[in-house]
Amino acid sequence: MCEIITKEFLLEIAIIFVKIGILFGAVMALAGILTWAERKMSALMQDRVGPNRASIFGFSLWGLFHPAADGIKMVAKEDFVPDKADKVLFTLAPMLALVPVFVILAFIPFGDYLQIGNLKIQLQISDLPLSLFLFLAISSLAIYGAFLGGWSAKNNFGLLGAVRAAAQMISYEVVLGLTLVGIILVYGSGSIQEIVKKQGEMLFGFLPSWGIVYQFPAFILFLVAAVAENKRTPFDIVEGESEIIGYFVEYSSMRFAMFMFSEFAEIVVVSMIASALFLGGWQVPFLNETGFAFPGGILITINHNIVALIQTTAFAGKTVFMAWLLLLIRWTLPRFRFDQLMKLCWKGLLPLSLANIVLTSAILQWLGSGK
Amino acid sequence: MKITKINNRNLSFAEKIYLSEIVKGMIVTARHFFANLFHPSRIITVQYPEKKIPLSEAARFRTRHRLKKRKNGDAKCVACYMCQTACPADCIDIEAGEKEESIAEKYPVKFEIDLSRCVMCGFCVEACPEDAIAMDTLIIPGGAESRQELKLSLESLLLDSAETSERGAVNRRISAMSMQNAERKLKNAK
Ligand code: SF4
Ligand code: SF4
């Protein structure tokens, strides 16, 4: 027997797999529900009823069966590959769009830690010291999915869509990265878990020191850049569902579903990142490791595992709220023209995010806490 | 061609940076969202075809067909095939039968209108020499789960027909009116 494979090692592996399973399942479920929520919410915003016909034994549950019905429909459709398409890349592209989104999940802390006996389980799949940078690096890989999808189909419209997608995503990638520099400066760390932990402190005793408080402009810029990365309205010139032809013209069946699903999974991941960096992640105001500690000196002690549960629930709540906000943005704003889009990025957001960095550093220096 | 140049209002600074306007817009949509979420009765959608908005009596739409009846309850139709010939959608299917002791010796044994193909053009009403078919039931057809359900049989066509009604001539009256209008316009033009 090999000595490296000890009991502890196996346990650790098992725990990691369980964590992956739970987080992956939660994100998949939320993304699936989002496909329904998007339709239902847009309907409610426009004084309509929305999907309500798919039913099982006469129960339609506000149309909750529609995602399932969509899934069945997608599977049943013909899986068409154009004659001239590059078969390998054509098959690879949807996967390249989907995989990076799920890889990012590994760095997202969804809670502090659980204490079972003398086993301490971190509620994060892997805590890397520079996970924020890795997040940026991996999220930029998603461009390959979009670009290869348009390129490999050998369809001119698809190619044009792919070029638009690449131009837009690369441009907004820059802004996305720069807005996060402010966060890194304030919290002095590149690890998302570390940043979330620092957000647990209180400012003046009552204001939670969340990213949105310290870095409000960065939050707005991040939101804009994230929506653009996500390729949804107002930045959906890339695909333009209703009239312009996007990079996935030639896709059908499950391959198309993968593109579609990656978009919704991306909403979830963006919401998670945004709530981790700007809304305090799993932090609940006045809740620390052992229980609530209110300013008046009132202490309520709670078992740490229950605290962790509350924190994870809070994180889920914040994520759902962010996803709701993203849907609201998507169904409120009209689309940008492509030149407006580029102008907004290079002449508007980029200088603003640079100014944010300069200002943040200056203030930190002035306060004498430049780390 | 004359070119009109429209000078758009100059945007204020707050409008130029979008932000405040975007927030305003999102407040509007969010308000609708929550209002409809908590008071679903606000939504005005009607669950067609389970529920329908009844048309007003005065409505002059072409609606589902009916066959008119004679005093003795027989169909007025003499199975002359005029409507079937006129129908552009080819959706009327008539079979004629003979009758000895009746006012008209021909009558329809089968009279079927396939509403899934009907384009509601009213040509059948125009074509009928006996004024036996009308489109004035104020029932808007649609929403069936099988094609068979959309086939109107002779019985269902005769169902809600009492005597020849004033409403029966709706189509004619409309076309007569439009003819008059056209003539008047022609005169005025001269
Ligand atoms: S309304 Fe027009 S299409 Fe319909 S049955 Fe009459 S002639 Fe045919
Ligand atoms: S044109 Fe009139 S009379 Fe002739 S078959 Fe049709 S409904 Fe009957």
Nearest CA in chain B to A234: B22
CA distance B34 to B51: 25
The residue to which tokens 């640079």 are assigned:
A354
Q: Report the residue count for chain B.
A: 190
Cα-Cα-Cα-Cα torsion B117, B120, B122, B128, nearest 10 degrees, comes to 40
Task: Enumerate the β-bridge partners of residue A299.
Answer: A293
Q: How many CB pairs under 8 A join A and B?
A: 38
What is the structure's pLDDT at A369?
55
Q: Does the pLDDT at position B167 exceed 60?
A: no
| Tens-place pLDDT, residues A155-212 | 898 899 999 999 999 999 999 999 999 999 988 888 898 898 888 887 776 778 888 8
Whether residues A44 and B22 touch (CB distance < 8 A) is answered with: no
For residue A39, report the phi and psi dihedrals to the nearest 5 degrees: -70, -40
Tell me the two tokens of residue B23.
Answer: 């927030």
CB contact set of A278 (below 8 Å; sequence gap of 6+): A183, A210, A211, A212, A215, A218, A219, A222
Asked whether the beta carbons of B46 and B52 are under 8 A apart, the reply is yes
Q: What distance in Å separates the CA atoms of residue A252 and residue A12, rounded to the nearest whole number?
A: 41
Residues with CB under 6 A from ligand 1: B 86-89, 91-92, 113, 118-124
Task: Check if A243 contacts B (Cβ < 8 Å).
Answer: no
The phi, psi pair for A270, rounded to 5°, reads -60, -40
Nearest ligand 2 atom to the CA of B75 is: 8
Residue among B69, B70, B74, B77 to mutate when testing ligand 2 (max atoms within 8 A of CB): B77
The predicted pLDDT at position A126 comes to 83
Query: What was the pLDDT predicted at B102?
Result: 66
pLDDT tens digits for range B132-158: 888 888 888 877 888 888 899 888 888
Q: Which residues of A269-288 are buried (b: 16+ CB within 10 A; e: fewer)?
A: bbbbbbbbbbbbbbbbebbe
Q: Which tokens belong to B106?
A: 């021909």
Which of B19, B27, B33, B51 to mutate: most A Cβ within 10 Å? B33
* Nearest to A277, CA basis, from A362, A175, A186, A364: A186
Which residue of chain A has the CA closest to B22? A333
The mean pLDDT of chain A is: 87
Task: Tell how far the Cα of A195 is from the centroid of ligand 1, in angstroms.
Answer: 71
Asked, as a colleague might, if the bond just before A109 is cis with ω within 30 of 0, I would say no
Residue among B25, B36, B44 whose CB faces A333 most closely? B25
Residue nearest to atom 8 of ligand 1 (CA): B87
A347/B contact by beta carbon, under 8 A: no
Banded model confidence at residue A324, pLDDT cuts 50, 70, 90:
very high
Q: Which ligand is nearest to the CA of B127?
A: 2
* pLDDT number for residue B187: 80
Measured from the Cα of B81, ligand 2's closest atom is 5
Closest to A192 (Cα-Cα) out of A97, A293, A110, A81:
A110
How far is Cα A183 from Cα A168, in angstroms, rounded to an integer?
24
Pick from A45, A48, A220: which is nearest to B29 by CB?
Answer: A45
Could you say which residues from 14 to 43 on chain A have a Cβ atom under 8 Å away from some Cβ of chain B? 41
Nearest Cα residue to atom 1 of ligand 2? B128
Query: Three-class SS string for chain B?
Result: CCCCCCCCCCCCHHHHCCHHHHHHHHHHHHHHHHHHHHCHHHCCCCCCCCCCCCCCCCCCCCCCCEECECCCCCECCCCCCHHHHHCCCCCEEEEEEECCCCCCCEEEEEEEEECCCCCCCCHHHHHCCCCCEECCCCCCCCCCCCCHHHEECHHHHHHCCCCCCHHHHHHHHHHHHHHHHHHHHHHHHC
Which atom of ligand 2 lies nearest, measured to the CA of B67?
7
Three-state SS for chain A is CCCCCCHHHHHHHHHHHHHHHHHHHHHHHHHHHHHHHHHHHHHHHCCCCCCCCCCECCECHHHCCHHHHHHHHHHHCCCCCCCCCCHHHHHHHHHHHHHHHHHHHHHCCCCCEEEECCEEEECCCCCCCCHHHHHHHHHCCHHHHHHHHHHHCCCHHHHHHHHHHHHHHHHHHHHHHHHHHHHHHHHCCCCHHHHHHHCCCEECCCEECCHHHHCHHHHHHHHHHHHHHHCCCCCHHHCCCCCCCCCCCCCCHHHHHHHHHHHHHHHHHHHHHHHHHCCCCCCCCCEECCEEECCCCCEEECCHHHHHHHHHHHHHHHHHHHHHHHHHHHHHCCCCCHHHHHHHHHHHHHHHHHHHHHHHHHHHHHHCCCC
Residue of A nearest to B45 (CA): A48
Reported as a pLDDT band with limits 50, 70 and 90, residue B168 is very low
Q: Does residue A46 belong to the interface with chain B, where contact is any CB pair within 8 Å?
A: yes
List pLDDT tens digits, range A1-10.
Answer: 556 678 888 8
Check pLDDT > 80 for residue B109: yes
Q: Which residue is closest in CA terms to ligand 1's atom 3?
A: B118
ipTM, two decimals, is 0.84
Domain ranges within chain A, ordered by starting residue: 80-366
How far away, in angstroms, is B135 Cα from ligand 1 center? 10
Q: B152 vs chain A: nearest CA distance in angstroms?
A: 26
Q: What is the B89 CA–ligand 2 centroid distance (Å)?
A: 16
Mean pLDDT of A348-365: 92
Whether the CB of A333 is below 8 Å from some CB of chain B: the reply is yes
Q: What is the pLDDT of residues A215-259, one digit of tens each?
A: 899 999 999 999 998 888 888 888 877 778 888 888 988 899 998
Q: Is A47 on the interface with B (CB under 8 A)?
A: yes
User: Which residues of chain A have a CB within 8 Å of the CB of B27?
Assistant: none
**Mean pLDDT, all residues of chain B:** 82
pLDDT at A33: 92
* pLDDT of A49 above 80: yes
Rounded Cα–Cα distance for residues A244 and A247 (Å): 10
Does pLDDT of B57 surpass 80?
no
Q: What is the rounded CA–CA span in Å between residue A88 and residue B161?
A: 67
Name the burial class of residue B89, with classes exposed (0-12), middle (13-18) and buried (19+) by CB atoms within 10 angstroms of its CB.
middle
Residue B175: pLDDT band (50, 70, 90) is low
> CA A64 to CA A75: how far, in whole Å?
19
pLDDT average, residue stretch B45-56: 82
CB contact under 8 A, A44 and B19: no
Residues of A in contact with B25 (CB under 8 A): 332-333
Could you tell me the pLDDT band of residue B170, with boundaries at 50, 70 and 90?
very low
pLDDT score of A371: 45
Interval between CA B107 and ligand 2 midpoint (Å): 9
Q: Which atom of ligand 2 is nearest to the CA of B130?
A: 3
Q: Is B104 in the pocket of ligand 2 (CB under 6 A)?
A: no
**Is B30 in Cβ contact with A331 (below 8 Å)?**
no
Which residue out of B65, B91, B125, B152 has the highest number of ligand 1 atoms within 8 Å of its CB and is therefore the one to mutate?
Answer: B91
Tens of pLDDT, residues A84-127: 888 899 999 999 989 999 999 888 998 888 888 778 888 888 88
pLDDT of residue B28: 94
**Separation between Cα atoms, residue A246 and residue B88, nearest integer Å:** 40
- In chain A, what percentage of residues exceed pLDDT 90? 33
Name the residue at shortest CA distance from atom 5 of ligand 1.
B118
Q: Which ligand is nearest to the CA of B90?
A: 1
C-beta of B77 in contact with ligand 2 (< 6 A): yes
> In percent, how much of chain B has pLDDT > 70?
87
- CA B156 – ligand 1 centroid, Å: 16
